Homo-oligomer: A and B are copies of this chain.
Amino acid sequence: MDGVDHLAPERSKAQFDVDDMKIVWAGSPHAFEVADRMSRLVASDPAFKKDHRPMLGRKELFKNTMRKAAYAWKRIIELRLTEEEASMLRSFVDEPAFTDLHWGMFIPAIKGQGTEEQQQQWLPLAQRMQIIGCYAQTELGHGSNVQGLETTATFDPNTDEFVIHSPTLTSSKWWPGGLGKIATHGAVYARLITDGQDYGVHGFIVQLRSLDDHLPLPGITIGDIGTKFGNGAYNTMDNGVLQFDHVRIPRNQMLMRVSQVTREGKYVQSTVPRQLVYGTMVYVRQTIVSDASIALSRAVCIATRYSCVRRQFGGKKGGLETQVLDYKTQQARLFPLLASAYAFRFVGEWLKWLYMDVMKRLQAGDFSTLPEAHACTAGLKSLTTSVTADGIEECRKLCGGHGYLCSSGLPELFAVYVPTCTYEGDNVVLMLQVARHLMKTIAKLGSGKRPVGTTAYMGRVELLMQYQSNVEKAEDWLKPNFVLEAFEARAARKSVNCAKNLAKFSNPEEGFLELSAELVEAAVAHCQLIVVSKFIEKLQQDIPGKGVKKQLEILCIVYALNLLNKYLGDFLSTGCINAKQASLASEQLRSLYSQLRPNAVALVDAFNYTDHYLGSVLGRYDGNVYPKLYEQAWKDPLNDSVVPDGFQEYVRPMLKQQLRNARL
């Protein structure tokens, strides 16, 4: 920073204590301290420079990622970082890499699906990075439908081996990150065939490349699947293609925690319950929700700061023009996203608790809450990632023309984020799962069994079907109960309407297919209710710090009322609220935007992001935007020479009317 803080006037306007809010955002003083320390460690080390990333060609880019990954690992060892610190450090390096899949999918797969013995054999190697693993499930022809995978693993009792094979082009593994160029091993998913029978998809540990010369082992073809969306972005990852030509692995490389194949080729189930696998899914999706709040908050931070720097129109003669954040349209686009970032943060925090609760119960043999927890994490993954992807792009547009430059950081943030809507479950497919769970819950209501967890409100369905909001004046909408009831009533009615319409079909599966668009709407309403209710629950806790709780209360109502406004058709058509109450909600929302305005910059400062992590000239902490934009521009390779390479061959003949003889 060059000393002057151009945003100081904004910061001095804040009506709450930013340092206390930083703790709330981080989750705890400890979490804050670790994140703060790790982010500064990365930001202050030139080895982690990243602002040139969008200008690098694919090979250079990838080489640079390998260097950073190795360097990060070196630092982790040198500094004897804890697991928590190491994972924080990696996330602040802010560059997708093969290591993500190694730590995030390969190791958890062994932990979750491997026997004790297998874990002892493989985990030490993996944890020291003597082998690097990927997670090879998706194929060219099958992603969402995992049960349709075509790769086969056929047991050969003569040699006590599995033969891994890709019988068709579409059975080629396609997408696994880290596979294309780096992984030495893979958790490979294939149809288990023994004794002529197909037992469906199971996991296997397969060595892919030689640990000597790194070449693919015999019978194995591997490559990178090509350039992906955006500059830099996910192109630092080597998503790969993989084909097997009758590759043999020892029998004990099948992941055998839940089911096994015996020496004789008999398929047997172990006593470990299958449901444990869902526990892992709950875990992975919970981290995605928490990452959504981070990605969205980064975009919001950039757009908020820049909207205070950017002035356009409205200046009195000679005086300063209006900061674009003072325009109500800008606020109406940006503040709901700010509120969503906080909302997703808190629901993510709660999901972490839920995961631990579920695991505790599983260990005690209690599977009762698992389906609900599974549906709820699936739905929240879908909801938060969709909103975040759209929200990042909206933040880019909020920055006008300059948002379109890579130096704004927003193009890369968007491009690297969007696949989150697709991987770990396509967002629409996930919402359909939630809808299925809701329909089951409703079907069971008559049975006297009370719905649990986030579906508990369904237990009051009869009351909720009668509900009519009692809001009489704009301020009533500030009361959490009015908000919560309206969201509960809307969600319940959307689900009940679907259930009623489903009942008209003689074939329920046909009905589900036919009504799936409406079912998705009901699932979305349910998930929005969860987010609203967890935000409200958070506010019932003791939250220290001057003015902190007040800001969070405003954000909570902004989150809810903006949704109410956006999905007004739902609320009105189901009769939960009336048109007058809707208009009072709009009025209240406008007033809340005005209350947020002076706190906006401080509310994004509370995310505690370094300029390195933000990676945006527009979002700089000090607001010194224009000189830095100018400086950055000159670094583009196209500015290496005044007259561009190619001008003499192509453009000069055009200007000189000599194209006829030009070699083009």
Q: Contact at A638–B315, with CB atoms within 8 Å?
A: no
Residues of A29-54 at the interface with B, using a CB-CB cut-off of 8 Å, are 47, 54
Q: Contact at A141–B626, with CB atoms within 8 Å?
A: yes
Residues of A110-146 at the interface with B, using a CB-CB cut-off of 8 Å, are 128-132, 138, 140-145
Give the interface segment out of A88-96, A278-286, A404-412. A404-412
Q: Contact at A644–B169, with CB atoms within 8 Å?
A: no
User: How often does this chain occur in the complex, in copies?
Assistant: 2
Tell me if A80 is interfacial: C-beta within 8 Å of chain B: no
Residue of A181, A414, A635, A657 ringed by the most chain B CB atoms within 10 A: A181
In angstroms, how far is the closest chain B Cβ from the Cβ of A554?
17
Tell me if A550 is interfacial: C-beta within 8 Å of chain B: no
Tell me if A241 is interfacial: C-beta within 8 Å of chain B: yes
Contact residue among B145, B390, B516 (Cβ-Cβ distance under 8 Å from A313): B145
- When chains A and B are docked, how far (Å) is the Cα of A181 from the Cα of B312? 29
Tell me if A544 is interfacial: C-beta within 8 Å of chain B: no
Proximity bits, A492-531, B CB within 8 Å = 1, else 0: 0000000000000000000001111110100000000000
Residues of A189-236 at the interface with B, using a CB-CB cut-off of 8 Å, are 211, 213-216, 223-231, 234
Proximity bits, A563-590, B CB within 8 Å = 1, else 0: 0011111111111000100110010001
Q: Contact at A223–B58, with CB atoms within 8 Å?
A: no
Tell me if A444 is interfacial: C-beta within 8 Å of chain B: no
- When chains A and B are docked, how far (Å) is the Cα of A160 from the Cα of B650? 37
Q: Given A329-B516, A513-B327, A572-B568, A66 and B650 touching (CB < 8 A)?
A: yes
Number of contacting residues on A, CB 8 A?
144
Residue of B nearest to A234 (CB): B404
Q: Contact at A397–B411, with CB atoms within 8 Å?
A: no
5 contacts between A and B (CB under 8 A): A59-B644, A224-B633, A225-B405, A329-B432, A329-B516
Interface residues of A (CB under 8 A from B): 47, 54-55, 57-59, 62-64, 66-67, 69-71, 73-74, 77, 128-132, 138, 140-145, 148, 169-170, 172, 175, 180-182, 184, 211, 213-216, 223-231, 234, 238, 241, 312-313, 315, 321, 327-333, 390, 393, 396-397, 400-401, 403-407, 411, 414-415, 418-419, 421-423, 426-428, 432, 513-518, 520, 565-575, 579, 582-583, 586, 590, 626-627, 629-630, 632-640, 642-647, 649-657, 659-660, 662, 664
Q: Kindly list 11 other residue pairs between chains A and B, CB separation below 8 angstroms, not including A140-B630, A390-B390.
A: A58-B638, A59-B638, A59-B640, A62-B638, A63-B645, A63-B646, A73-B659, A130-B656, A130-B657, A228-B406, A238-B644
